[in-house]
Amino acid sequence: MGGVTMKTAQLPRTIPALSLETDAALTWRYAELTADFNPIHIDPEFAAGTGFGGPILHGTMGLNLLVEAVAAAFGRPMPALRFDIRFIRPAPVGAIIRAGGELSDPVNGVYSVFVETADGQRTVEGTCSL
């Protein structure tokens, strides 16, 4: 197996947050990138008739931002890492989302990681571990 191994002392204490400002145009570009054209993300009229009341971001948009934040914190090449996350709630199209984390278990190399909207509402929570 490839990847880089790291010693405890080398572990970054935090995963500095990365932010992404979203809007309908960016969401459409993400739909094109992923071929996920679920109307809940890109059709305001359809989404208005759902329990969400309006379009919501693809959950993986935030997950990808989190992976990028972790990659930036560790540098390239990334060490071998495991993520275990839950999608807690959706974020509305138009939200600013932030993704980051902090070292919660230095001995075992485990980070608590998150994606949240600018007002602090968590959309993704979980762990990233070596």
Partner 1 sequence: MRPAAREKAWTYDALRPGHEFGETHFRIDAGRVARWAEIYGGTEGDAVPPGLLVVEMMKAYLDLVHPRPPGNIHAGQRLRCLDMDVPADAALTASVRCLDKTLRKGRGWVTFDVVLRSRERDVLQGEIVTIWAA
User: Binding residues for partner 1, how many (CB under 8 A)?
Assistant: 34
What gap in Å lies between CA 18 and CA 67, rounded to an integer?
A: 10
Least distance (Å) between residue 45 CB and partner 1: 16
Provide, rounded to whole angstroms, the least separation between the CB of residue 38 and partner 1: 8
Options 11, 36, 52, 112; binder of partner 1; rule CB under 8 A: 36
81 is a site residue for partner 1 (CB under 8 A)? yes
Omega cis (within 30) before 79: no
**DSSP code per residue over 24-49:** HHHHHHHHHHHT---HHHH-HHHHHT
Of 77, 89, 104, 121, the one binding partner 1 (CB under 8 A) is 77
Q: How far is the CB of 113 from partner 1 (least distance, A)?
A: 11
Residue pair 117/91 in contact (Cβ under 8 Å)? The answer is yes
Window 84 to 123, contacts with partner 1 (CB under 8 A): 84-87
Residues in CB range of 73: below 8 A, 6 or more apart: 12, 14, 15, 16
Binding-site ranges for partner 1 (CB under 8 A)? 1-3, 20, 26, 29-30, 32-36, 59-61, 63-65, 67-68, 70-71, 76-78, 80-87, 126
